[in-house]
Amino acid sequence: MKPLILASTSRYRAELLNRLRLSFSSAAPDVDESPLPGEAPAALAQRLAGAKAETVARQFPGSWAIGSDQVAELNGQPLGKPGSREVACAQLAAMSGHEVLFHTAVCVSDGTTHHQASDLTRVRFRALQTAEIERYIDAELPLDCAGSFKCEGLGITLFEAIENSDPTALIGLPLIKTSQLLRQAGYQLP
């Protein structure tokens, strides 16, 4: 079997991939994550997942690379990783009382063959007060997470409901889809 490389330095994605009990290494994909003019959030996630996998697969010939990307969408507009406390507070305030879509795409590529899939998660945020947003941001510092929260931690308290077909997708790597793609690439999983 070809070596497997996670095209990401995200510890969240590495922790998820470890659940599949496959040996893998990680490499940082050098990909510009800027959206193209008029690019829909779902298309952006799919394009970036593919670009990450292909870039890393080309860096390591003879390997399979897994690329994944997640884009949050509020009222048709993409929300990126906040990067700062102020942006995180503003994102959560904007999402308060609304439904937010999370498009999570995954691609498994050896540089020439590509297997790709995506998952959609709907999150309904409860009405949030400014003080609780600030307490949450200070407690968990989700500055590197699309949508400014960590659903595997305290972020779950911000929601009224989550609707999806794969609970791991919201964390950043949809393992159900990833398992299917790895089987297509020849990996043996239970």
CATH level 2 (architecture), domain 4-184: Alpha-Beta Complex (3.90)
Q: What is the mean pLDDT of residues 146-151?
A: 88
pLDDT at 80 over 90: no
Do 92 and 136 contact (CB within 8 A), yes or no?
Answer: yes
Model confidence pLDDT, tens digit, residues 5-51? 999 998 889 999 999 999 999 999 999 999 999 999 999 999 999 99
Residues taking part in catalysis: 69
Residue 95 CA: distances (Å) to CA of 39, 76, 82, 133: 21, 12, 13, 11
Domain boundaries, the chain: 4-184
Q: Helix 175-184 to helix 11-18 angle, to the nearest 10 degrees?
A: 60
Residue 6 CA: distances (Å) to CA of 62, 76, 175: 14, 29, 13
Model confidence pLDDT, tens digit, residues 82-118? 999 999 999 999 999 999 999 999 999 999 999 999 9
Angle at 178 between CA 174 and CA 184, to 5 degrees: 160
Sign of CA dihedral 8, 52, 141, 160: negative
Write down the pTM of the prediction.
0.91
Do 58 and 38 contact (CB within 8 A), yes or no?
Answer: no
Residue 108 CA: distances (Å) to CA of 87, 113, 160, 172: 32, 8, 33, 15
